[in-house]
Structure 1
Amino acid sequence: MSLLPVFFKGFALAAALIMAIGAQNMFVLRQGLRREHVGAIVLFCATADALLITAGVLGLGALLSLVPNLALTLTLGGAAFLTWYGLSAFRRALGSGAMVLATQPTVSLGRALAGTAGFTFLNPHVYLDTVVLMGTVGSAQPASAQPVFILGAAAASLSWFAALGYGARFLAPVFTKPKAWKVLDLFVGVTMFCLAGGLVLKAMSLL
């Protein structure tokens, strides 16, 4: 059988899932605008997606559904993390944190990766998208084609995060003004609060 359609099936499905506006994408965009640790963050996000998709194809999704209260724990943890980051964004927007790009304090590699890990693994939607949904579609492929499906999905993830992180520099001229950073941080804050609110409602349905 031709494996090219399987590759593009994995690529297209992963691309459709990760391109939506979300907490992780907003974080990658902001770090791309700051030009801080972009390569490491892009690699982390793409590697995490590849590992989660692989786990899903190998059947981890079915196993996770059997673990009591895991969904509730992930949902509440994600809501708390997004609320904290949303408050941080509002503080930057309303205070001295919304500064010109050149004067913003540098974030260490460890702190940047810790933030990336939080947005990746404390978001229950990432498990629904990569482990459950991608895993369901991938595991339905013939055994010989499953690695190709995973490769296609991983390629889409790497392409998207690289474009988001490195493409952000083309917006840098706009963000030479403090007002642009204030608008971005306000948008980030509202987005995080909306996502956190959605997770809280979901958690209530799980109780």
Structure 2
Amino acid sequence: MLESYLTGLIVCGGIIIAIGAQNAYVLGLAVRREHHWWSAGLCMGTDVVLLTAGMFGVSAILLTMPNAMEAMRWLGVAFLSWLAAQAFYRATTGRQALTASRAGGRSLKHVLFATLAVTILNPQVYLDTLLLIPAIGAQQESATTFVAGASTASILWFSLLAWGGALLSPWLSRPLAWRLIDVVIGLMMAAVALHLARNGV
């Protein structure tokens, strides 16, 4: 049981840390202190719903299809490698700094709709929560405990983005900070991809 929980926590945590559109949007709101906790809460709730649906819908099918599990393995390797390559590219070329200015603040409704759009219109979210993570969870002793661990990772991560982004807004506004973040992300994604390729799910 504990092993399933920790596996869900570590696997989901390692995947969602990759700074995609959703995470970057929440972090940008946090740096500007612009309804960032509402946005983070919406992301947490969406992740929990999608992870639960993916785990208890897709996993049952995958268990009866060994070839699908192998395909998911290499799809995961390719996806994680792509994330790592993107992160290393951003670390090399740099990206625009986030602005901590509060000018032209948006309404809560606007922020929530934008957060929902960034979440549900991003194919990466579905690949993670409905396919990649459940494919790993299907091999665990307890699916419920695995989902609990994965959901905890999402809650902890978005809480950290909201709290840490606001706290460290002066530092995170610098382009150098983004380079360092991308290096860490790239190394983590490359390590997970290599482990998956060598050992399977």
State TM-score, norm by structure 1. 0.61
Structure 1 gaps of 5+ residues are 64-92, 188-207
| Counterpart code for 2:4 | V
Query: What's 2:123 paired with?
Result: 124
Per the TM alignment, residue 37 of structure 1 is displaced from its structure 2 partner at its CA by 1.6
| Counterpart code for 1:115 | A
Question: Is the alpha carbon distance of 1:111 and 1:60 closer, same or farther for their aligned partners in structure 2, counting shifts above 3 Å?
Answer: farther
Residue-by-residue CA offset, 1:146-203 (whole Å, 9 max, x unaligned): 111111000001111111111012333357xxxx58x69xx9xxxxxxxxxxxxxxxx
Query: What's 2:188 paired with?
Result: none
Residue-by-residue CA offset, 1:121-164 (whole Å, 9 max, x unaligned): 1111111111101112223334xx21111110000011111111
**Superposition RMSD in Å:** 2.7
Question: Is the alpha carbon distance of 1:131 and 1:100 closer, same or farther for their aligned partners in structure 2, counting shifts above 3 Å?
Answer: closer
Residue-by-residue CA offset, 1:16-62 (whole Å, 9 max, x unaligned): 11011211111001100111222211111111111111111112486
Q: 2:99 & 2:155 partners in 1: Cα distance?
A: 30
Contact 1:11 1:153 in 2 (8 A): yes
Contact 1:56 1:136 in 2 (8 A): no
Q: 1:99 & 1:41 partners in 2: Cα distance?
A: 18
Equivalent residue pairs, number: 143
> Which protein is bigger by CA-based radius of gyration?
1
Contact 1:59 1:139 in 2 (8 A): no
Query: What's 1:157 paired with?
Result: 154
Q: 1:17 & 1:119 partners in 2: Cα distance?
A: 17
Q: 1:114 & 1:11 partners in 2: Cα distance?
A: 28
Structure 2 gaps of 5+ residues are 63-95, 180-201
Contact 1:33 1:168 in 2 (8 A): yes
State TM-score, norm by structure 2. 0.63
Q: 2:163 & 2:58 partners in 1: Cα distance?
A: 32
Q: 1:36 & 1:148 partners in 2: Cα distance?
A: 34
